[in-house]
Amino acid sequence: MDFAFGAQDESFRAEAREWLAREWPARHPTGDDGGRAWERTLGAGGWIGLGWGTAAYGNRCATLTQQVVWAEEYARAGAPGRIGHIGEKLLAPTLLAHGDEDQRARFLPGIARGEEVWCQGYSEPDAGSDLAALRTRAVRDGTGYRISGRKIWTSLAHQADWCFVLARTGEGTRRHHGLSFLLVPMDQPGRIEVRPIRQMTGTSEFNEVLFDGAVARARDLVGGEGNGWRVALGLLAVERGVSTLAQQIGFEAELRRVVRLAVDSGAAADPVLRDRLVRQWAQLRTMRWHALRTLGGAADAGAPSVAKLLWGQWHRRLGELALQVRGAAAATGPGAWSPGAYELDDLQRSFLFSRADTIYGGSDEIQRGIIAERVLGLPREPG
């Protein structure tokens, strides 16, 4: 139960592997500027927008199997986490499905070139994963909208040029009624403030974003006023498939490292721990089969939620298992301790960061609710 790759796919694989071997080590990025430089390098190489289904915006169009090949080779090369993935993987498909041609012509080429970075303005402090409970408001001012409110856990907001914001435009509306999907430039001093959130890992990928009369142009409203819930659900549905397969390659590398550590340290002599390691391996294979089964399918409403439940819980358990294998040594950092220093090795960082895996991107509770309502046909929550 695996993918069958043809001769064209293998030729594409050779091209991808050669390009990554040449460009990635030679252009090892560091810091925010390095991440932007790498996005531009990917854009110049034609590796952004492979799955858009069209080559009309300066991107290259690839088949589904070629997209899988690229994702796998990218992960195997150890290339860095992308700062452009939100624009490429989330916004672009949304504009192709719900935007107008002017919006696609304005924004997709910049994403394809790796020149414009996006963030997602969904979650809020008082709403969390309950997207329909958001309070951020957007009021018409004649030429566009003025946005006021707070967004939380906004990945890469400190680097983004633009944010797609879900806001309430209908007066007196509640829940999923009266929401609109707006494209908002982030460079608005005094109107948009980005506050980094320091995590347990010591890093700050997430941010709180405060909007105080931020401006969005009327022509940057996607899908029509009041139709934001439909657009938002369409965006959430694309968070699956090819990118999940690439993620699993990274998971596989982490698992191999933990297994090797267990063998070398003698911890694998414990039959209970061995059983947990085998279960992790078997569950990872199950995730791959699920991803392959649902790849390219648009009719399976529960597939994204099932995938999120599987990988979020799996990765958190792996982090816990990694520390169990190391025993007391897991409590010490890789370098000499000093006041103010906060050094972690890869497994410690993975353990701490994975605590959020079952929360961000829609908590486990939200995913189970989606499966209950849309797949099992159980009654919806009131409101």
Active site residues: 239
d(CA 85, CA 71): 12
What values do phi and psi take at 4, rounded to 5?
A: -105, 120
Write out the two tokens for 302. 């529960």
d(CA 243, CA 249): 10
Cβ proximity of 164 and 214 under 8 Å: no
Beta strand ranges found along the chain (DSSP E): 118-121, 137-140, 144-151, 162-168, 179-185, 192-196, 207-217, 221-222
Task: Provide the 8-state DSSP code for 91.
Answer: I
d(CA 194, CA 196): 6
The residue assigned the tokens 């320091």 is: 198
CB neighbour list of residue 226: distance below 8 Å, 6 or more residues apart: 169, 170, 177, 178, 179, 180
Classify residue 213 as left (phi > 0), alpha (psi -120 to 50) or beta.
left
Beta strand ranges found along 24-117 (DSSP E): none
The angle that helices 242-265 and 271-294 make with each other, rounded to 10 degrees, is: 170
**Cα–Cα separations (whole angstroms), residue 144 to 245, 251, 308:** 40, 44, 36
The residue assigned the tokens 């694989």 is: 13
